[in-house]
Amino acid sequence: MLSGKVAIVTGSTSGIGLGIANELAKLGADIVLNGFGDAGEVEKIRRGIALEHGVRVVYNGDDMSKGEAVRGMIDATIKQFGHLDILVNNAGIQFTAPVEEFPPARWQAILDINLSAAFHGIAAAVPQMRKQRWGRIVNIASAHGLVASTHKAAYVAAKHGLVGLTKVVGLETAGSGVTCNAVCPGWVRTPLVERQISDMATDKHITQKEAANELLAEKQPSLEFVSPAQLGGTVAFLCSAAADQITGTAISVDGGWTAQ
């Protein structure tokens, strides 16, 4: 379905981003991986995707907290492949603290990576996508892009902002062949969430399994984690012809979290 397409997935050396990159590669897209990690491990991931799916896979290690680096990644991809068709803004970080104790540096870092990086990537990618009259921008937001939780001022603000940015870009590109949508996952067992589970287990003197179940019970009625592969499938759907008229919207994949 995506043969001949080129996709950038930020934050794709692990977790949700890697799941999305795998699903797009499975459908024939060439992939630009981005993210941090051990060089040997990243190369193993890159080579594994390329061999398994028979697509071109390259790695770009640019820092998504720097706007110029984000725009440089877009330009480098277009120069290397000749075009860019799919941009998945997935890179994200987290930090929790009450608002009055929230470190300003942490606030800025979260906004830079979770929100501003998407802005810079979109701004650089849209001209190319308009020119070819086809493009898919998918912003990986969160259930926290639609509702809030305590101690997550920066993350919730950034993800709400990402949903708002999605709506604006959807409107500005409507009718151009370019769509822009947000995917809002609930709890996914990523390294970020693993840390929250570990912290909860330590604080409450319970097991990892008990902490995971408690985390799910608090928010996610399905009592099951969303998988990276399921999110990859959602992104793939948004890249399909069936989604040509879906733009400027937020799709929840959250086990019922935001239905409450």
Catalytic positions, please? 155
**β-pairing verdict for 250-253 and 30-34:** unpaired
The 8-class DSSP code of residue 65 comes to T
Question: Distance between alpha carbon 46 and the CA centroid of its chain, in Å?
Answer: 18
Burial of 123-138, coded b for 16+ CB within 10 Å and e otherwise, reads ebbbebbeeeebbbbb
Q: How far apart are CA 132 and CA 126, in angstroms?
A: 10
**Which tokens sit at 57?**
């896979």
The phi and psi torsions of 60 (rounded to 5 degrees) equal: -125, 120
Contact 64, 33 (CB under 8 A): no
